[in-house]
Amino acid sequence: MKDEPWHQGTEVVALYNFPGRSPEDLAFQKGDLLIIQHGTRDKNWYKASDAQGRQGMIPANYVQPRKVVTLHAMPWFHGKISRQQAEDLLKPRENGLFLIRESNNYPGDYTLCVCHNGKVEHYRILYRDNQLTIDEEGFFKTLDELVKHYLKDADGLCTQLTRPVTKQGGSFGTVSLDEFKNGGWVINQPDVQVGEIIGKGAFGDVYKGEYKGQPVAIKQLKDKDRGEQSFLQEASVMTTLRHDNLVRLIGVVLGENIFLVTEFMGKGNLVEYLRSRGRSVITKKDQINFATDTCAAMEYLESKNLVHRDLAARNVLINDNGMAKVSDFGLAKFGDFSQSGQKFPIKWTAPEALRENNFTTKSDMWSFGILLWEIYAFGRVPYPRIPLQDVVVHVERGYRMEAPEGCPPEIYTIMKQAWELDPERRPTFRSVLGRLNNLRSVTV
């Protein structure tokens, strides 16, 4: 049983089947998700609603509230760097100075690099059956556990770990599978039906499916050995967030296949929606709604000091009611963009983020300005007449895109303010949301 009463909006997961004992009760099955509406005079009973919108009384000891899954920082993890880069970072060569990198020779494994007697020793960390080991004697669930162990005891290493070389420009994170289980986020694979493929992502393909009779989107991890932690990082960030304009996490399936199950957004992503329907279908009211919905989600992230890092119309989804919701905020807390490769979103990224890997709420605001341009240009690619490699130079010299045809002047003013070179001169999402709400109220 719980200590504190649950408040309206608390999400709980059913621990057992409850058939209902009277007409006032809400029957449910183990694993069902319910939302608390309010308490009653009897602290053991609550009024709640289910996924279909039915309401009724539920017994408190048949359910548990979902818990946030904690993402643990890994400041000593440097990702995909070379052996030589690691040795260059490990200076001065004091005993026990260390870092961890991805293994270059064995994809999916890691390498512990530690200083001892003026040299750098490189230990391969094997990833086997969801566990990590250096000597195949001590096994750990996460890199975080492994590091904590060797900080206490050398246990076969050349020396005990003493001090990490921390990664500059943001760190990675690690998460434990047990936290998803204990937090009430794990759902049984037989309850999930996977349907047609509807999208492809860096870590997994996305399918339309069903969970307990409701339509859902199911992201399946492609390569468990290489992508599991990044995949679970996205899920862990989603457990901390609840807002009408953020795509909601329903749960995760763990096991042979790892699935991330979210609410289904029937009209797809915003950029395709804009392009496929165009001016003949999409009204001024639709445009201001998309802009305001997105800004509301970003104001919520801003209030939690979370940075999205990849805000663009392709990462905003539209549900069957025409509401816009921001997705793909797995990078919001810990993330490391590589600027090599064609997938880096140069046209959406603020100059200081490109130059110094400095992502903030203010760099998100720059991206929001680009997203506004996409909305009012009906999904056109930004900077349409400028080659990709020249965009940054033009922007830093003062070039700004013109207002799309038919764009309200108030919206173009927000774009230009979002594209101030000095991040501190850009507005907050909170202030922009107030202006967009005012504009929405007078748009017909």
- Give residue 220's identity as a one-letter amino acid code: Q
- Cα–Cα distance between 286 and 294 in angstroms, integer? 12
Give the Cα separation of 376 and 403 in Å (integer).
Answer: 8
Query: DSSP letter string over 256-304?
Result: SS-EEEEE--TT-BHHHHHHHHHHHH--HHHHHHHHHHHHHHHHHHHHT
Taking the C-alpha atoms of residue 157 and residue 123, their distance in angstroms, rounded to an integer, is: 9
CA angle centred on 354, ends 348 and 359, rounded to 5°? 80
Number of residues that make up the chain: 444
Query: 123-145: b or e for each residue (b if 16 or more CB lie within 10 Å)?
Result: bebbbeeeebbbeeebbbebbbb
What stretches of 181-223 adopt beta strand conformation (E)?
Answer: 192-200, 204-211, 214-221
Q: What angle do CA 110, 328, 70 make, to 5 degrees?
A: 55
CA nearest neighbour of 248 among 46, 60, 17, 33: 33
For tokens 């599991």, the residue is 228
Does the annotation flag 219 for ligand binding? yes
Find the catalytic residue in 32, 293, 310, 364: 310
The yes-or-no answer on residue 310 being catalytic is yes
Residues sharing a CB contact under 8 Å with residue 186, sequence separation 6 or more, in sequence order? 180, 251, 252, 253, 254
- Cβ–Cβ < 8 Å for 367, 311: yes
Task: State the number of CA atoms in the 13 A half-sphere of 383 facing the CB.
Answer: 19
Tell me if residue 171 falls in helix, strand or coil.
coil
Distance CA 208, CA 216 (A): 6
Residues with a catalytic annotation lie at: 310
Residue list for the binding site for ATP: 219
